[in-house]
Amino acid sequence: MADHSAPPACKYFNLTYPLPFVAHVEINRPDKMNAFKEEMWHELPPLFTHLSTSPSTRAIILSGAGPKAFTTGLDVQEASQNSILGPNPDQSRPVPDGARTATRLRRHVDAFQACISSIERCEKPVVAAIHGWCLGLGVDISVCCDVRICARETRFAVKEVDIGLAADIGTLSRLPKVVRSGSWVKDVCLSARDFGAEEAEKVGFVSWVGKNGGKEEVVKEALRWAEVVVGKSPVAVQGTKEVLNWSWNRSVEDGLRYTSVWNSAMLQSEDTREAMMSGITKRKPRFAKL
């Protein structure tokens, strides 16, 4: 079980608390437009596991540092030199056969997926505040978040087929579940074409687009949204996220039952009374830590 102490040290992610209970995680490699090297994704699980159980955190904003990009995705240059897809570093060893190479590749992809999925598994709501470029791995990451909002100029692309790959860090598994047009999902995944904020909103990929443009506006909106959410009962908010995530992939019957079992404990909170009382007395409710 995660301890509730200090957050893990991260080299590539800034963690700040702009408001009480609101954590702001910033992808922090602006000189490379926040492109991901391997050590970056390994920083995600300890960070989001910490936030998942930290009582001081009730909502999380995820954004990219610098003016140009949420993230341009995988740092292809670094990947081609160091990673599993690059040239064989040790020419003296025999070439492994196709099965052994496949085992190495599968373990690599499994581990990579698990790092990114740590955002989805976080018990607190995560809102992605996207600006500039959001390419490839950027889409994989943003579909792990609960809510996506973006600046007017944002450009997205499911870029993987352009480098000879099927997207394998989560976009193909999650995008059909969060966007409502099958035809559009197939279009953007098979053609790798980029699309803008307006189109992203029309198909339901993002639920808010900035009016004026620029990163500040979208981060400000994310803060506003998060402030609303952290003012609610954390028992209610975290239960809502959990029950939605469970129900998403399952039958209505399984969703209903899980909800009633979950709430058999959660309805024993003091928060309902507190919420009602504060409504009557017109004061701001205060909820115990969770």
Residues of span 36-75 touching a second copy by CB under 8 A? 53
Q: Which two tokens stand for residue 176?
A: 């059909």
> What is the rounded distance in angstroms from the CA atom of residue 214 to the CA atom of residue 231?
27
The single residue among 25, 27, 33, 185 that binds a second copy, judged by CB under 8 A, is 185
Task: Name which of 22, 14, 16 is nearest 225 in CA terms.
Answer: 22
66 or 189, CB closer to a second copy? 189
Q: How many CA atoms lie within 13 A of 179 on its CB side?
A: 27
Task: Give the other-Cβ count within 10 Å of 285's Cβ.
Answer: 16
249-256, long-range: CB < 8 A, 24+ apart? 249/177
Check binding of 220 to a second copy (CB under 8 A): no
Check binding of 276 to a second copy (CB under 8 A): yes
Question: Of 157-176, which residues contact a second copy (CB under 8 A)?
Answer: 160-168, 170, 172-174, 176
With contact defined as beta carbons under 8 Å apart, do 206 and 138 qualify?
A: no
Residue labelled with tokens 């009633």: 260
71 or 117, CB closer to a second copy? 117
9 or 106, CB closer to a second copy? 106
Check binding of 270 to a second copy (CB under 8 A): yes
14 or 289, CB closer to a second copy? 289
Question: Of 86-145, which residues contact a second copy (CB under 8 A)?
Answer: 96-103, 105-111, 113, 117, 120, 125, 143
Closest CB 142 distance from a second copy, rounded Å:
9
